Structure 1
Amino acid sequence: MIGIVMAGGKGTRMNLDDEKLLLKYKKPIILHVIDSLNNSNLFSKILAITSSNSPKTKKLLQENNIEIFDTPGIGYVEDLNLVLKAIDDQVLVTSGDLPLLDGEIIKKIVNQYDSQKTWTSILVTKKFLSSLGLESDYPVNFSDQVCHYTGISLVNSKKITSLETLDENYIIFDDKRLAFNLNSKQDYDLLSTT
């Protein structure tokens, strides 16, 4: 299995002077995410997906000897599609803005992998997000409740022909390590209270 970390976004919702993934939570957040994948000992390779939108993040990753896959930075879906077309393997995709991620929760997620399913997105319930004081802009109705994407997916890239015609499956994991994705300044302020 290959671990993919999406690290090429603009992070415009944060309204920061610097790149979002360089925000520190003991160390730059992108390095927390990379370390959590490494610490799980489950991946034959870990790739950080970069673009011209995040040159300082790319530089930090290179300085830390992390393999990168550079994309045009058109958008999350377009960049991910480009990467998945180049990979013929089982993949865990995660966004680079999950500062509480760790090897243990990565193992729990990977244990849910089903190679018969092309794409499985990991969700948290709106109720759980709200209990943490968090919000998300991407709701999905699943299992008779409103849920939100965590930015983590399990993918069998061998079965993908197009991201537009995917049969998406879902698994709910109400866990703080997955719910805490930094999308706003308020999220980052809340992080310091955890």
Structure 2
Amino acid sequence: MIGIVMAGGKGTRMDLDGEKLLLKYKKPIILHVVDSLKNSNLFSKILVITSTNSPKTKKLLEENDIEIFDTTGIGYVEDLNLVLKSLDDIVLVTSGDLPLLDDDIIQKIVKQYESDKIWTSILVTKNFLSSLGLESDYPLNFDNQVCHYTGISLVNSNRITSLGNLEENYVIIDDKRIAFNLNSKQDYDLLSTA
């Protein structure tokens, strides 16, 4: 299994002077996410997806001998599609802005993998997000409740030709370690209380 960390976005919603993934929660958030994947001992390879949008993040990763896959940075879907086309394995995809991620929740998520499913997205419920004081801009209805994407997916990359018309499978895991991603300054402020 290959672990992919998406780290090539602009982070425009944060309205920061610097790069979002370099914000610190004990250490830069991007390193925290990569270490969580490493510490799970589940991956034959870990790739961090960077772009021209995140030059300082890329530099930090290179300084820490972390393998990167550089993309154009056109958009999340385009960048991810480019990476998945180059792989022939089971892949866990996570966004790089999950400061509470740890090896235990990674192991729990990987257990959700079903080989007959091409794409499984991990969701949290709106009620759970609200209980943490968080909100998200991407709701969907699943299992008779409003849910939100966590930015984590399990993908069988050798069965993908395009991200266009994939049948998406969903699993709900209400856990703050995957619910808490940094989309705003308020989220970062809340992190100190998590």
- TM range, smaller chain: over 0.9
Spell out structure 1 runs of 4+ moving beyond 4 A.
none
Q: Which runs of 5+ in 1 are unaligned?
A: none
Residues 95-121 of structure 1 show CA distances to partners (whole Å, capped at 9, x for unaligned) of: 000000000000000011011100000
1:133 aligns with 2:133: yes
Equivalent residues in 2 for 1:76-87, closer than 5 Å: 76-87=76-87
Which ranges of structure 2 fall in alignment gaps of 5 or more residues? none
Query: How far 1:54 moved relative to its partner?
Result: 0.3
Corresponding residue of 1:22: 22
Corresponding residue pairs, total: 194
Report the residue type matching 1:105 in the other structure: I
Tell me how far apart the structure 2 counterparts of residues 155 and 15 of structure 1 sit (CA, whole Å).
Answer: 31
Q: Distance in 1 between matches of 2:32 and 2:174?
A: 20
Q: How does 1:1-194 map to 2 (within 5 A)?
A: 1-194=1-194
SS at match of 2:30: helix
When the two structures are superposed, what TM-score results if normalisation uses the length of structure 1? 1.00
The 2-side partners of 1:115 and 1:150 are apart by 21
What CA RMSD, in Å, does the superposition of the two structures yield over aligned residues?
0.3
1:109 aligns to what SS in structure 2? helix
Deviation of 1:23 (Å): 0.3
Deviation at 1:84, TM superposition (A): 0.2
Distance 1:119 1:174 in 2: 19
Q: How many angstroms does 1:25 deviate by? A: 0.3
- SS in structure 1 at match of 2:129: helix
